[in-house]
Copies of this chain bind each other. A is one copy, B any other.
């Protein structure tokens, strides 16, 4: 398929290309674009002409999208954007350089341009960026029958898809919503004001998209009105965009916990990837020097009892693992807003208790093995004690660090890992070497 399409683009056979790719769903077309050699991509768009649905550009990585847009004449982009719902057009425009974006916007008809400029003025995290400005709004005194007939007359006009209509007063203030199934199930003679749902979950355009996504999820919403501070209807957000937000948030948390920035994409170059990952590694290097300093304090101890050098990473790594477990659970609870003030105190003590229970169990195993291995029961006691201490500290910090980062209004997934391993390494080496030095009199 990809090879056939590539060949068709090279030979410029528009008809064959339309036969091959003209009927693809935008998601599949996006995949096809992504799989093509970069220099063939703009050719595909131009050759497909009006059969190319620009929504496919919302399905490819940012770097691929920018590369295609750079390779296309402005007029082609303008024509493509006019076919799109406003939220998709915004998505395509938002990553462009200001200058390129202005060139495109200037050629759009005024009403389209005004809607897009307004949407682009919202901050990137605001729900206003994701809203559609095309919707169906009707007055409360209309009957169900009249609303149905109005929709029949609407035909192909209006939004591409919708799941509810909005009931507004003369100055566009939202009075309620009527879902399409509710509309269809109501008597034709009933007035809309008697069938509308007036307990509407509406959002202001500046609200954070994550918060809105959580509400969609919580209340099983499929679409929701966006209003201005005077409760005037300005747009609608739909579940398809919200699903993307949910997925994106989850991806960002996953990546952040793994020490990768959220905007790293698979199609980034080696240079971009290396550069974006370097800061985390550099920070980790700095904290590793702290660990090295701690160990350095005990060089005499290690010199006299070199077994300690072999055993010390065990204590540190077990603490790191236990702490990561706690941190993972805590970060997840924080991002899902599952932690009230009362529960925070409770989760910290629970995590420390869990760490204590597992610490005792594992320290018996570790202490036993170490004692047998080095034929030194006292060494077993020392390493077992150090393990319990480090695991309880790991439980404490594993919960405390993300909670503190969250209180300081940062994303708890981003920086917690670095702080945590610094804590568990430092405490792990210090506890083990310190107790050993004191116990064996090697200080």
Q: Which residues of A contact B (CB under 8 A)?
A: 25, 27, 148, 151-152, 154-156, 158, 161-163, 179-181, 183-188, 216-220, 222, 239-240, 242-244, 246-247, 250-251, 253-255, 257-260, 264, 266, 270-271, 273-274, 277-278, 280-282, 284-285, 288-289, 291-293, 295-296, 299, 302-303, 306-307, 309-314, 316-318, 321-322, 324-325, 327-329, 331-333, 338, 343, 347, 350, 353-354, 357-358, 361-362, 365-366, 369, 421, 425, 429
B148 touches A270 (CB 8 A): no
Q: How far is the CA of A309 from the CA of B353 in the complex (A)?
A: 32
A-B contact pairs, 30 of them (CB 8 A): A25-B219, A27-B219, A156-B185, A158-B185, A163-B222, A180-B184, A183-B184, A217-B244, A222-B239, A250-B254, A251-B332, A254-B254, A255-B328, A266-B338, A266-B347, A274-B357, A277-B322, A277-B325, A277-B354, A277-B358, A281-B325, A281-B358, A282-B362, A284-B321, A288-B314, A292-B310, A293-B310, A299-B306, A302-B306, A317-B421
Question: Which residues from chain B contact A244 at a C-beta distance below 8 Å?
Answer: 217
Q: How far is the CA of A274 from the CA of B186 in the complex (A)?
A: 54
Q: Which of B219, B328, B350 contacts A270 (CB 8 A)?
A: B350
Q: Which of B162, B186, B313, B357 contacts A313 (CB 8 A)?
A: B313
Question: Which residues from chain B contact A325 at a C-beta distance below 8 Å?
Answer: 258-260, 277, 280-281
Q: How far is the CA of A153 from the CA of B158 in the complex (A)?
A: 27
Q: How far is the CA of A288 from the CA of B322 in the complex (A)?
A: 14
A151 touches B185 (CB 8 A): yes
A217 to chain B, nearest CB (A): 6
Q: Which of B247, B277, B292, B329 contacts A266 (CB 8 A)?
A: B329
Q: Looking across the interface, which residue of chain B has its beta carbon closest to that of A303? A: B306
Q: How far is the CA of A411 from the CA of B331 in the complex (A)?
A: 22
Given contacts A277-B354, A303-B303, A354-B273, contact A184 B313 (CB under 8 A): no
Q: How far is the CA of A220 from the CA of B88 in the complex (A)?
A: 13
Q: How far is the CA of A322 from the CA of B277 in the complex (A)?
A: 8
A307 touches B318 (CB 8 A): no
Q: How many chain copies does the complex carry?
A: 2
A49 to chain B, nearest CB (A): 22
Best-buried of A187, A253, A266, A296 by chain B (most CB within 10 Å): A266
Q: How far is the CA of A296 from the CA of B310 in the complex (A)?
A: 5
Q: How far is the CA of A187 from the CA of B379 in the complex (A)?
A: 86
B152 touches A180 (CB 8 A): no
Beyond the given pairs A277-B325, A285-B362, 7 more chain A to chain B contacts, judged by CB atoms under 8 angstroms and listed by A's residue number, are A161-B181, A162-B181, A222-B222, A254-B331, A257-B258, A266-B329, A282-B362
The 6 A-B pairs with the shortest beta carbon distances in the complex, nearest first, are A258-B328, A250-B250, A220-B240, A180-B180, A295-B310, A151-B184
B324 touches A259 (CB 8 A): yes
Best-buried of A216, A277, A353 by chain B (most CB within 10 Å): A277
Question: Which residues from chain B contact A184 at a C-beta distance below 8 Å?
Answer: 148, 151-152, 180, 183-184
A215 to chain B, nearest CB (A): 9
Q: How far is the CA of A162 from the CA of B257 in the complex (A)?
A: 39
